[in-house]
Structure 1
């Protein structure tokens, strides 16, 4: 199990004041993603390469049809 208790969590600078956002943190070779409104809740864990691929796709607009 990966310990995110001492991780430095960050959220996008484009985050709105509504508070509906996610936070990310890197611990070793993995990236954790959590709901910023529930900091003690579950964390989704991805390998660095998986998360980089997701960010690349999001930047290119590959997920626009999901909305």
Structure 2
């Protein structure tokens, strides 16, 4: 649902990384694009590559974390 709100502003082949439920409950509608950018990378990642990453692995996103 969040992606549909800003679909035309997101590059194709973007991989979204699922944040925690706590983080998902925070974004306001005006911050959806920024929120999604902070939890995505603009390259396609195949699931077989992602499952090789250990839990807790930090993957660089499209934008740096809020400071």
Establish whether TM, by shorter chain, passes 0.5.
Answer: no
Q: If each structure's strand is expressed as a fraction of its own residues, which one has the higher value?
A: 1
TM-score (norm 2): 0.29
Structure ranking higher on relative contact order (CA contacts 8 Å, 6+ apart): 2
Q: If each structure's helix is expressed as a fraction of its own residues, which one has the higher value?
A: 2
